């Protein structure tokens, strides 16, 4: 190999997507984020790797948040999920509650893994089903005050799995109709295909037993995301 040729990344850099208006920083370090929310169980495993080296990123703080089976986000439970919101920026929609269901964070282990117990998300008007993720690079000992967000994304689901979930009791009977992935603006314009989880059922006989979803996320550990900036943590909704 020519020594003058630069080494290429051994892992693809995962595409970033917007954080949306419902990002909060509740400092909840926990594996189970469901808080007994009604819905089909979902076990989510994410592997965070350095896109330049392929090595696991250890001790990174991985936040996830998503809506419940009926499309509502904790902290914004009075917002009607069957009506589209006008603004998708952080801090743009006043919080209505201090509840915390379906959001939380974990530190990556030595293999770069985090694992969450939650439910399969529902949808809200104008969007397909998705989970938000933010990865913070930690330094020193005051981990929970860290504002260096290196990567922000959204995770999507295979259509076959989502159709079976949306037919279940907890998810059906909505005034709004869900978009499929290809109808979703952010999926089609911000790399949604590369952000689609590998999903399989946990039980042989019924989807009601739940799903397991997994993905490897390649990040630039030196990057500072433009999707969640340090000053966003000072916004009153966060």
Residue 155: phi and psi, rounded to 5, are: -110, 135
Percent of the chain with pLDDT over 90: 85
* End-to-end Cα separation, the chain, in angstroms: 50
8 A C-beta contact, residue 124 and residue 22: no
8 A C-beta contact, residue 159 and residue 180: yes
The whole-angstrom separation of Cα 194 and Cα 156 is 9
Hey, what domains does the chain have and what are their CATH numbers? 41-234 (2.60.130.10)
β-partners of residue 62 are 106, 135
Confidence of residue 203 (pLDDT cuts 50, 70, 90): confident
> What is the reported pLDDT for 154?
98
- Residue range 109-153, pLDDT digits in tens: 999 999 999 999 999 999 999 999 999 998 766 777 889 999 999
40-49, 78-87, 132-141, 150-159: least confident range: 132-141
What mean pLDDT is predicted for residues 54-59?
A: 96
3-class SS of residue 193? helix
Q: What is the pTM of this model?
A: 0.93
The whole-angstrom separation of Cα 157 and Cα 220 is 24
8 A C-beta contact, residue 112 and residue 47: yes
The whole-angstrom separation of Cα 141 and Cα 186 is 36
8 A C-beta contact, residue 23 and residue 233: no
8 A C-beta contact, residue 220 and residue 55: no
Residue 191 corresponds to which tokens in the numbers above? 């790399």
3-class SS of residue 137? coil
Q: Which helix (H) or strand (E) holds 172?
A: none
β-partners of residue 25 are none
> What is the reported pLDDT for 88?
84
Torsion angle of the four alpha carbons 126, 235, 238, 220, in this order, in degrees rounded to the nearest 10? 80
């Amino acid at each position: 190999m020519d020594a003058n040729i630069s080494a290429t990344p051994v892992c693809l850099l995962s595409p970033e997507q917007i954080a949306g208006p419902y990002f909060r920083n509740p400092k909840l370090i926990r594996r189970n984020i469901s808080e007994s929310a009604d819905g089909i169980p979902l076990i989510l495993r994410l592997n965070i790797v350095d896109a330049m080296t392929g090595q696991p990123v250890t001790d990174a703080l991985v936040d996830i948040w998503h809506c419940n089976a009926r499309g509502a986000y904790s902290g914004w439970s009075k917002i009607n999920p069957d009506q589209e919101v006008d603004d998708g920026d952080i801090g743009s929609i006043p919080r209505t509650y201090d509840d915390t269901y379906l959001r939380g964070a974990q530190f990556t282990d030595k293999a770069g893994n985090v694992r969450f117990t939650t439910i399969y998300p529902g949808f809200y008007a104008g969007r397909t089903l998705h989970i938000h993720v933010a990865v913070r690079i930690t330094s020193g000992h005051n981990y929970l005050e860290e504002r260096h967000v290196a990567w922000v994304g959204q995770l999507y689901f295979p259509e076959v799995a989502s159709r079976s979930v949306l037919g279940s009791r907890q998810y059906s009977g909505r005034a709004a109709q869900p978009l499929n992935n290809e109808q979703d603006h952010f999926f089609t314009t911000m790399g949604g295909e590369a952000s689609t989880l590998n999903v399989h059922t946990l039980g042989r006989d019924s989807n009601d037993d739940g799903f397991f979803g997994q993905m490897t996320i390649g990040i630039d550990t030196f990057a500072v995301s433009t999707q969640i900036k340090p000053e966003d943590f000072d916004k009153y909704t966060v």
